[in-house]
Structure 1
Amino acid sequence: MEFTAYQTLQGQRWDAIAQAVYGSPYAYEGIIFANPQYRHLLQLPGGVVLRIPVVAQTEPTIPKELLPPWKR
């Protein structure tokens, strides 16, 4: 699995980091899993460098028969 680095701001929470990195505050579990040494903290100190799992961006797949005729 690939990782990228993210440096925290003082008092930042896991959900705020997930929002900043992935665009969703609900995607924080993978970040906590990749940084077990900080999992007990609700708010992180400033300057902590976290490992952020790189998530592949996938396009939603819509079956061809459900597309309107002009998009087939």
Structure 2
Amino acid sequence: MSDCGCEKARQDLEEYLRNEICTTEHSEIREHLDNCPSCQDEALVAKTLTEVVARACKESAPEELRAQVFARLRLAQSASH
């Protein structure tokens, strides 16, 4: 195993979670996470945040709410002109 400390693991955490890192580095970070509770916690927070954002991007507002928001935007725009 090469030296994959907390700094390296945290620096590459986002790429690791998205599987955008080479196999060797992925293994090193995985091994580090398996043995470092602090980095495990950070990885869990990052993973949870990524999942919540992804879920939120798939959701859309109810049509009635969207219509109300657009109506208010049009009203605000007309009032400012």
More helix by share: 2
Which one has a larger percent strand, Structure 1 or Structure 2? 1
Q: Which has the larger radius of gyration?
A: 2
Give the structure-1-normalised TM-score: 0.28
Give the TM-score of the pair, scaled to structure 2: 0.27
